[in-house]
């Protein structure tokens, strides 16, 4: 199979009546091009569903670090419950299938713990599937050379596939996931493509009650105005910190964002002071709703923070901001994926930008070589589960600050046990 013969095979239009056979032929051509097992790449119609066996897309044997090893046993098929659109090219559905499969392989929380010893081989399969996807994309943009970035183990067969497909290769290391991140389930979860969107998260009654408990719990402290505030009102380009501090303040914001009438405004500020890897103090403030603005309903659903809480327990925004800056003091500052959310709302509501070189975005560290690298869309709640912090609520500023601190410690090869983090947080919140 050459690149010239692969292109028409994977770009052929799918018909309304014969698409399972046509899709199977396209997948088998791709498997053959990538050194896989075409006869084990099958599309089987079952009533209104097609079951797609993907494990023939990668070779039976992989060469890793000069060693020839058997590919892992990853036999979960994909249930394709939505027929491809008539006359759509086969490679569009192929890319969708690969995306669904690799979405499972990329996250240790979805892999059975039996995959833990086989993680290098599992990651090699992940990279091989994405390389096949990159080749399909390269065939669509023949005049624009693509670069495939591989994080973690890469088989020699995958490198050869990319070379044949005209795709350039960039390699980066990644962290080895830790055992506790894997699922206790005995097998891979079912992979279903049904065309529906995942439901939006909602706060449960316990989360709402916890927000009220924290709002009543904290007494206001006084903080001296820092000589060098972490944020100021001088417009300046965003420059992240280039060093990784041992002592720092880590923060997170909950905020309401909506229409011009609703506005953007902060509802909760959570921050932790960390010294030598330990949480030594905590800051958790709820803010009143600014005049003439309304709390976004989606924000209430996600966080459990409602207008009644903010009216009764909220602090005037300018006072809360001054206390927050005083709590930070002269510390370096850590946040998670701050640019489009936390920094945006600080700029809109208070006209503030971070001091140059003061702020470190932990999401960028994780993207560069963490447990799920190269994926800026990985949410903090996923990392919370990965780190075993399921007992901490996903949408609460103080809890998200804990998760950011735990992720930073993990990325620096100093993971903290969830029970230890919980005790440190409880002690500081009393």
Q: What percent of the chain has pLDDT over 90?
A: 66
Q: Give the span between the Cα atoms of 133 and 148, in whole angstroms.
A: 10
| Predicted pLDDT at 148 | 96
Name, in order, each residue with C-beta under 8 angstroms of 29's C-beta and a sequence gap of 6 or more: 1, 5, 6, 9, 10, 38
Backbone dihedral angles phi then psi of residue 114, each to the nearest 5 degrees: -65, -20
The C-alpha angle with vertex 52 and arms to 49 and 58, in degrees rounded to 5, equals 170
Strand-pair category, 42-46 with 49-53:
antiparallel
Residues 6+ apart with CB under 8 A from 276: 246, 247
Q: What per-residue confidence (pLDDT) applies to 52?
A: 94
Q: How far is CA 419 from CA 147, 148, 165, 415, in A?
A: 42, 39, 49, 12
Q: Where are the beta strands (DSSP E) in 191-293?
A: 191-193, 231-232, 248-256, 265-275, 278-286
Contact 365, 240 (CB under 8 A): no
Specify the long-range contacts of residues 244-248, CB closer than 8 Å, at least 24 apart: 244/360, 244/365, 244/408, 244/412, 245/331, 245/332, 245/334, 245/360, 246/276, 246/277, 247/274, 247/275, 247/276, 247/331, 247/332, 248/274, 248/331, 248/332, 248/333, 248/334, 248/360
| Res 199 pLDDT > 60 | no
> 270-302: per-residue pLDDT in tens?
999 999 999 999 999 999 999 989 898 888 888
pLDDT at residue number 202: 60
Strands 147-151 and 231-232: unpaired
Would you tell me the crossing angle of helices 397-411 and 362-369 to the nearest 10 degrees? 40
Question: How buried is residue 256: exposed, middle or buried, by Cβ count under 10 Å (0-12/13-18/19+)?
Answer: buried
What is the full DSSP assignment across 146-176? -EEEEES---HHHHHHHHHTT-EEEEE--PP
Q: For the chain, what is the largest distance between any 2 Cα atoms, rounded to a whole number of angstroms?
A: 73
CB 344 within 8 A of CB 351: no
Kindly provide the residue ranges of all beta strands, DSSP E only, lying in 276-356, ordered along the sequence. Answer: 278-286, 333-335, 353-354
Q: Which residue has the tokens 């560290």?
A: 365
Q: What pLDDT is recorded for position 198?
A: 57
Residue 201 has pLDDT above 60, yes or no: no
Confidence of residue 303 (pLDDT cuts 50, 70, 90): confident
Write out pLDDT tens, residues 5-28.
999 999 999 999 999 999 999 999
In this model, does residue 390 exceed pLDDT 90?
no
> What average pLDDT does the segment 340-351 reach?
93
Specify the DSSP class assigned to residue 134: H
Q: What is the pLDDT of residues 25-69, one digit of tens each?
A: 999 999 999 999 999 999 999 877 899 999 999 999 999 999 999
Please count the other Cβ atoms lying within 10 Å of the Cβ belonging to residue 185. 12
């Amino acid at each position: 199979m050459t690149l010239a013969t692969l292109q028409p095979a994977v770009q052929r239009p799918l018909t309304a009546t014969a698409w399972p056979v046509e899709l199977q032929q396209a997948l088998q051509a791709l498997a053959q091009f990538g050194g896989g097992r075409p006869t084990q790449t099958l599309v089987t119609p079952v009533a209104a569903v097609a079951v797609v066996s993907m494990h023939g897309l990668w070779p039976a044997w992989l060469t890793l670090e000069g060693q020839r090893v058997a590919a892992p046993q990853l036999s979960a098929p994909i249930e394709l419950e939505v027929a491809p659109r008539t006359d759509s090219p086969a490679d569009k559905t192929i890319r969708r299938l690969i995306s669904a499969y690799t979405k499972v392989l990329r996250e240790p929380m979805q892999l059975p713990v039996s995959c833990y010893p086989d993680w290098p081989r599992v990651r090699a399969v992940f990279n091989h599937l994405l390389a096949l996807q990159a080749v399909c994309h390269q065939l669509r943009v023949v005049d624009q050379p693509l670069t495939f970035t591989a994080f973690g183990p890469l088989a020699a067969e995958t490198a050869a596939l990319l070379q044949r497909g005209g795709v350039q290769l960039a390699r980066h290391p990644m962290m080895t996931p830790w055992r506790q991140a894997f699922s206790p389930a005995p097998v891979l979860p079912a992979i279903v493509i049904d065309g529906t969107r995942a439901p939006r998260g909602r706060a449960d009654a316990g989360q709402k009650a916890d927000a009220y408990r924290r709002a009543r719990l904290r007494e206001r402290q006084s903080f001296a105005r820092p000589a060098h505030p972490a944020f100021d009102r001088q417009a300046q380009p965003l420059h992240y910190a280039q060093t990784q501090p041992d002592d720092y303040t880590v923060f997170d914001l909950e905020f309401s964002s909506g229409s011009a009438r609703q506005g953007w405004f902060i509802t909760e500020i959570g921050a932790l002071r960390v010294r030598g890897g330990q949480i030594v103090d905590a800051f958790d403030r709820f803010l009143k709703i600014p005049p003439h603005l309304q709390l976004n309903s989606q924000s209430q659903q996600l966080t459990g923070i409602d207008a009644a809480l903010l009216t009764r327990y909220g602090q005037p925004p300018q006072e809360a901001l001054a206390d927050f800056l005083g709590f930070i003091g002269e510390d370096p500052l850590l946040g998670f994926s701050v640019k489009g959310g936390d920094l945006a709302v600080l700029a809109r509501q208070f006209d503030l930008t971070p001091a140059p070189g003061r702020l470190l975005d932990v999401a960028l560290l994780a993207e560069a070589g963490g447990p799920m690298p190269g994926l800026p869309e990985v949410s903090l709640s996923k990392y919370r589960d990965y780190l075993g912090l399921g007992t901490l609520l996903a949408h609460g500023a103080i809890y998200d600050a804990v998760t950011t601190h735990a992720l930073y410690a993990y990325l620096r090869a100093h993971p903290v046990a969830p029970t230890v983090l919980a005790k440190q947080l409880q002690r500081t919140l009393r």
